[in-house]
Amino acid sequence: MKSNVNIGCILNYARHTLIDQTLLEYIPFFKEHNVGVINGATIAMRLLTNADPPEWNPADDQIKKTCREAADEYCKKNGSDLARLAIWFSMQANLPPTYVEGFHDLEAVKSMKYLPLGKTGMMVSKLSFGGGPLGCHFGTYDEDEAIETIRQAIRQGINYIDTGYWYGQGHSEITIGKALKGIPRKAYYIATKVGRYELDYQNMFDFSIEKTRENLKKSLERLQVDYVDVIQVHDIEFAPSLDIIITQTLPELSRQVASGKARHIGITGYPISVLKECISKSNISIECILTYTRYTLIDQTLLEYIPFFKEHNIGIINAAAVSMRLLTNQSPPEWHPADDKIKKTCREAAEYCKKSGSDLARLAIWFSMQCDDVATNLIGIQNMEQLKANIDIANNDISDKELQLLDNLQKNFFSKIKGSHWEGKEIKAYQAALDKLKK
């Protein structure tokens, strides 16, 4: 029976200790319901001390024997105290549910910030791993290094990985699948997508029930996992009608969740208004959204929609902090839909940063990570150098000099851009290409 009385906190004892970490499994639930968590009996009622536990301690003899050996034969001989270590360990209960002792770098995980992803119950890292560049949309890369980079990212506390068939027509999923092999399944969340597929316009999008079911099955095979934590409908604005998403794609994903092949449902897209409309009309629970380049130095459209997403307890994933390479020292790819004015301004801003001894990409990523209403910031990563740089940005503040530089960029460059987005441009190009093929 559900309580009608508001429960503000819970107290549990001996469930986040050196011998039992059951509490971690339930923290996402308590956070989702804004219930305070009190952790009692960090030394497990004297089990984890140099003293004998009281006679009434309900632990079995094997547990008691192991704890005595740990206290007497190991800690004492090493000049330490088991109780001290046990109390310290229990005070680290802010570790995410994905933490796996013996696999993760504890200090790195403790340095990473984690936030709830809407109503999913998932606690996701502030920085998440974007698999888009592993599909070669931004140039080639060394696969062996990419695989090791993914593994190191997870060890260092990045627990959310995003991919999709569209990124290299399965290549990103395959590479990530190779990296995940041998990593404890508990250690990460994996998200993939349905709906966007091939490079040729006629087969680029398919939101049908059959294709959705087929692609999720194949994605699981490429990723070498039994289920994904989040299954997303990719770029819903390209559907011939939003009704197809609402009546076909989302209901099929709901069936896949029921079958155990996925746990949560999300939608992605560039125009945030379409994401809002879909959530408002759908009878299927949408638990998170992913939008890209909409909270950056040149476009903060996402802020307008945050109250709506918060009201519906929808997790927000902010992707492409560097606006698909616009806000870097590199030239954006040829397919980039921004107009020439935006590209020119971004090039000038990058040069200004260089001359000032800084890096535009670093400032852009830091800026995008300052919104606490965003659960995670999805950054495309290909190699160890990029991983190290992005973790540094996620865990540290920028200098006063860089803050001033950021202010100058806003005033002297980006404030001059009128219409800093390209909504509708890609859809028009897609429709024009389809019309041309029909002639």
Cα dihedral angle (297, 303, 305, 309), rounded to 10 degrees? Answer: 110
Q: Kindly list the domain boundaries of the chain, sorted by start residue.
A: 9-93, 110-429
Query: Please, what is the end-to-end C-alpha distance for the chain in angstroms?
Result: 63
Rounded mean pLDDT of the chain? Answer: 94
95 has a pLDDT exceeding 90:
no
- Annotated active-site residue 167? The verdict is yes
Q: Are residues 305 and 276 in contact, defined by beta-carbon separation less than 8 angstroms?
A: yes
Please, which pLDDT band fits residue 92 given cuts at 50, 70 and 90?
low
Residue of 350, 289, 303 whose CA lies nearest to 323:
350
Residue that has been written with the tokens 């996925």 in this structure: 262
Catalytic entry in 99, 114, 165, 167:
167
Long-range contacts (CB closer than 8 Å, 24 or more residues apart) made by 49-52: 49/82, 49/83, 49/86, 50/76, 50/81, 50/82, 50/83
What is the reported pLDDT for 1?
60
The residue type found at 298 is: I
The model's pLDDT over 338-360, given as tens digits with 9 standing for 90+, comes to: 999 999 999 999 999 999 999 99
329 has a pLDDT exceeding 80:
yes
The model's pLDDT over 366-390, given as tens digits with 9 standing for 90+, comes to: 999 999 899 999 999 999 999 999 9
Domain 110-429 in CATH 3.20.20.100? The answer is yes
Which region among 98-112, 136-150, 178-192 has the lowest average model confidence (pLDDT)? 136-150
DSSP states of 82-135: HHHHHHHHHTTTTS-TT--TTTS-HHHHHHS-EEE-GGG--EEESEEEE-GGGG
143 Cβ contact partners less than 8 Å away, ≥ 6 residues apart: 175, 178
Burial class (CB within 10 angstroms; exposed 0-12, middle 13-18, buried 19+) of 59:
middle
The model's pLDDT over 201-221, given as tens digits with 9 standing for 90+, comes to: 999 999 999 999 999 999 999
Please, which pLDDT band fits residue 34 given cuts at 50, 70 and 90?
confident
What is the reported pLDDT for 139?
66
What is the reported pLDDT for 138?
62
Q: What is the mean pLDDT of residues 394-418?
A: 93
The model's pLDDT over 261-320, given as tens digits with 9 standing for 90+, comes to: 999 999 999 999 999 999 999 999 999 999 999 999 999 999 999 999 999 999 999 999
